[in-house]
Amino acid sequence: MATRNLSEYRADSVPDAQNMIFGIVVSEWNQEITGALLNGCVTTLEKHGALPENIHVKTVPGSFELIYGAHQMTLNDGYDAVIILGSVIRGETPHFDYICQGVTAGIARLNATSNIPVVYGLLTTDNLEQARDRSGGRLGNKGDECAVVAIKMAKF
């Protein structure tokens, strides 16, 4: 369980993002949650100076496809950082475990081999309530956190 609000951070510790270009790959699966993550992410990027025309959003059908989408964005030399946003909610089968492990390994591999950072914004929750809590609910919005991480890592 999250021990802090995902939307809380020191605004003065975030670099100016005015001259940065961001790629965001968002899963269509669990759209209620991923849409809220995307909204938080874009709002936070803009709050820190990112221009709307420098925020490029692409959708993929599900969370596993986030790896391919992020990889394609890393091949474009114009991005300063790529953010993946998805939500996997545990079900009755081991599908949850395979998807979560696969996406985590794929994004880790991209971070180790790409010239730009790929920020991990995959919610992995036991139920819809936990996902809502982390996509704008009582625990904040993971999309906000991903935006801040992307700005900081782009500046790195």
The residues assigned a catalytic role are 95
Alpha carbon 151 to chain centroid, angstroms: 12
Rg (CA), the chain: 14
Tokens linked to 133:
């809590």
Work out the burial of residue 137: count CB atoms within 10 Å of its CB; fewer than 13 is exposed, 13-18 middle, 19 or more buried: middle
* Cβ contact 36:69 at 8 Å: no
Beta carbons within 8 Å of 41's beta carbon, 6+ residues apart: 24, 83, 85, 121, 143, 144, 146, 147
**Residue 137: closest CA among 127, 151, 152, 150:** 127
The identity of residue 7, as a single letter, is S
Task: Characterize the bridge pairing of strands 118-125 and 55-60.
Answer: unpaired
